[in-house]
Amino acid sequence: MKTKPCLTHEDCRRIATAAEAEAQRHGWAVSIAVVDDGGHLLWLQRLDGAAPISSHIAPAKARTAALGRRESRLYEEMINQGRQAFLSAPTLEGMLEGGVPVMHDGQCVGAVGVSGVKSVEDAQIARAGIAALVPTA
C-alpha cells in the first residue's frame, strides 16, 4: 500500500497567514482558499473589503489547481488560445489565474486559490502562502 503526504490544519493556517500577510502588505482585499488534493475545502477566509463573489471564486480556482495538478492559469491560457472545449470540463469551474497547486516530493497535496485583485496578483498571494509551508523531513 502506498502512503502520501497530506496537508494538516497547521499547514493550512501557515499558508493562510503568509498569504494574508502578502495581501495586506499591498493593501489587497481578497479571499483565500486552501483545498486538499481532491479539491475539498480545508480553509477559507475573506479579508475585510473583499467582494462577496471572491469567496466563491477562490475555492473554485484552488479546486481546479488541485484536481488538474497544475496552475489554474494554464486552463485560462488554453481557452484564450482557442481551446474553448475546456469550458465543458467536468468539475472545473475556476479556470482563471490565481489557483496554485501545493507540491511535496513531486506529489500534489492540495492547492491555494485567491480571488479579489488582478489575477496575477491573486497568484502572487497564493505563491507567498505556499512558500511559507516548510515541508517536514
Please say whether the beta carbons of 88 and 34 come within 8 A: no
Write out pLDDT tens, residues 90-128: 888 899 999 999 999 999 999 999 999 999 999 999 999
Q: Is 29 part of any domain? A: yes
Note the pLDDT tens digit of each residue in 54-81: 999 999 999 999 999 999 999 999 999 9
| Assigned domain for 58 exists | yes
In a domain, 93, yes or no: yes
pLDDT tens sequence across 4-61 = 999 999 999 999 999 999 999 999 999 999 999 999 999 999 999 999 999 999 999 9
Asked whether the predicted pLDDT for residue 136 surpasses 80, the reply is no
Give the chain's domain count.
1
User: Band of the pLDDT at 86, cuts 50, 70, 90?
Assistant: confident
User: Residue 111 has which C-alpha cell?
Assistant: 492547492
Query: Does a structural domain hold residue 2?
Result: no
Reduce the secondary structure of the chain to three states and give it as a string: CCCCCCCCHHHHHHHHHHHHHHHHHHCCCCEEEEEECCCCEEEEEECCCCCCCHHHHHHHHHHHHHHHCCCHHHHHHHHHCCCHHHHHCCCCCCCCCCEEEEEECCEEEEEEEEECCCHHHHHHHHHHHHHCCCCCC
**Mean pLDDT estimate for the chain:** 94
Question: Is there a domain that residue 76 lies in?
Answer: yes
pTM here? 0.94
Report if residue 136 sits inside a domain: no
Residue-range definition of the domain harbouring residue 96? 9-131
| Alpha carbon 76 to its chain's center | 14
User: Does residue 88 belong to any structural domain of this protein?
Assistant: yes
What pLDDT band is residue 137 in, cutting at 50, 70 and 90? very low
Of the CA atoms within 13 Å of residue 12, those in its CB half-sphere come to 21
CATH number at residue 107: 3.30.450.150
Query: Roughly what angle, to the nearest 10 degrees, separates helices 9-26 and 119-131?
Result: 130
Residue 4 lies in a domain: no
Residue 134 amino acid letter? V
